[in-house]
Structure formats: structure tokens, C-alpha cells
Amino acid sequence: MIRNLIILFAVIAIYSCKNSQKDSQHPVEKKLENSESVNKRVSTLFQIEMKQNYVLSEEDEELFFSALPNNFSEFESFYGIRYQLKDGRKLFLSSSYHYNTLVPNLFYVDKKLITKKLIQISINGYYAEDKQISSMDFDSISSLSNLFDATAEFQRSIQLYFASNVAITCQIINELSSDKILSFWTFYFDGPHPDNYQKDFEELQRRYEEYDPRIANLMKQSYEKLLSEHNGHGH
């Protein structure tokens, strides 16, 4: 039974990719170039999900981590698509399971690699807000709604992660340009009411100030810009 399911999921991405080309109303632009690699990664993520483990083996950790999106464009493409199985069922990848359950429990993957990947996904990210969807079909509305949820879940996961992993974050983020650091912090605090993060911001800035005043200052610039912009959005 498990073997059949694994084989079934192995063809999900290929089938979905072909269908998505026919759907011009799909809310997520397909920006992934190497479709064969993407198909394999999506299939791997579904296989990991099927096991429903909270703690992964060393082999599964490496497979899972390598399959995760590497930037925000990939994130949108991975979690904004309902993948169709051969038996007719349609499923989304679970952002919550990936980033709120598995990533915090990674043991064998180097902490620096985890930190770097979460930062890279966050750069150029934005909080997904409601758009005019009345003209979309059911599948498009459902896909867009799932992407909204996936983005919010990922954002919450990085807020928790980077609040408690300050030293290693400063080490990794210092390798980036100021523009990319600003983009990272903008996504971190982005939302309909960034003023709700005021106390969180003050404590977070205090923590980062102790390790790297430059990063703390860029955090402040990003947050103040969000507060000053209309509706609190920086995009």
C-alpha cells in the first residue's frame, strides 16, 4: 500500500505541471525553470508528509530539507498549487507541517544551512492580503487562499525562529547586502497592522543590538517604513 502511494505521488508534479499550463487564471505565476528537479522535490515533500512523523531520520531530514523552496518565488509556486493525483484527488503541500513541525525539529541538518534557507525564502517575500477574486474559478480561489495561509504560517514560523536564534542569524545575514537585509526584515514585520508588533520589535531590536548594531538599525529602518506606509504594507 505504502509503495503504491509513493509511486502515486511521484507522478503528481508532472500531472499538475501539465494541467497548470492550461489554466491561465491560476493566481501563481510559474517561475520554476527546471521542471524535472521541481517535480522530484515536490514528490519528495509529499512522500515525507505521508509518513506524518514529527521526528525524521537522518536520511529523511536531508531529503526534506533539500526539497524545500530556496526563495520566495519557489515558495509561491510550491504552496500555491493544488496537485492532482491520478485517482482524482487534489492536495496542497502543507506549509504548516513543513515549517511549524518539521523544520524546528531538524537535528542532522546544520543550523547555519537552516538559517540561511529561511532567510533566502524571506527575501522579497510579502504578506499576502486579500485580492479581488470574484472573477476567478473555484480552483483558482482555493489555490490563492491556500497560498495566503501558507505565507502567514511561514511568516509566523520565521518570527519565532529568528527571535531565538540571534547570534547565528547575525552571522549569516551579515553576508548579505543592506537591501536584502531590509527586504528580510520587511517581510518579518509585514502585515495589515505592523503596529501590533511594536513590543516585539522593541525586544527584538534590543537582542540584535547586542550582537550587531548594523543589523538592528536595518531592522529599525524596515519596521519604521512599514509603519509609515499606507495600510502598513511595504509592497
How far is Cα 28 from Cα 184, in angstroms, rounded to an integer? Answer: 21
Instruction: Give the pLDDT confidence score for residue 8 in this predicted structure.
Output: 42
What tens digit of pLDDT does each residue of 53-97 get?
A: 999 999 999 999 999 999 999 999 999 988 876 567 788 999 999
Cell of 120: 533566502
As a whole number, the mean pLDDT across the chain is 83
| Residue 115 forms part of a structural domain | yes
**Lowest-pLDDT choice from 3-17, 75-89, 111-125:** 3-17
If one compares 84 and 182, the residue with the highest pLDDT of the two is 182
| Residue 143 forms part of a structural domain | yes
| Residue 136 forms part of a structural domain | yes
For 211, other C-beta atoms within 10 Å of its C-beta total: 15
Q: Report the range out of 28-42, 125-139, 213-227 with the highest average pLDDT.
A: 213-227
| Side-chain-side CA neighbours of residue 49 (13 Å) | 20
Instruction: Give the pLDDT confidence score for residue 38 in this predicted structure.
Output: 86
Number of domains in the chain: 1
Q: Quote the strand ranges of 58-214, DSSP E.
A: 83-84, 90-91
| Residue 234 forms part of a structural domain | no
What tens digit of pLDDT does each residue of 199-232 get?
A: 999 999 999 999 999 999 999 999 999 999 865 4
Instruction: Give the pLDDT confidence score for residue 18 in this predicted structure.
Output: 40
pTM for this structure? 0.80
Containing structural domain, residue 57: 2-164
| Residue 213 forms part of a structural domain | no
| Residue 39 forms part of a structural domain | yes
Instruction: Give the pLDDT confidence score for residue 129 in this predicted structure.
Output: 66
| Residue 173 forms part of a structural domain | no
Whose cell is 531538524? That residue is 106
pLDDT surpasses 80 at 171: yes
| Residue 202 forms part of a structural domain | no
Helix or strand (DSSP H, E) at 164: helix 138-164
Instruction: Give the pLDDT confidence score for residue 133 in this predicted structure.
Output: 44
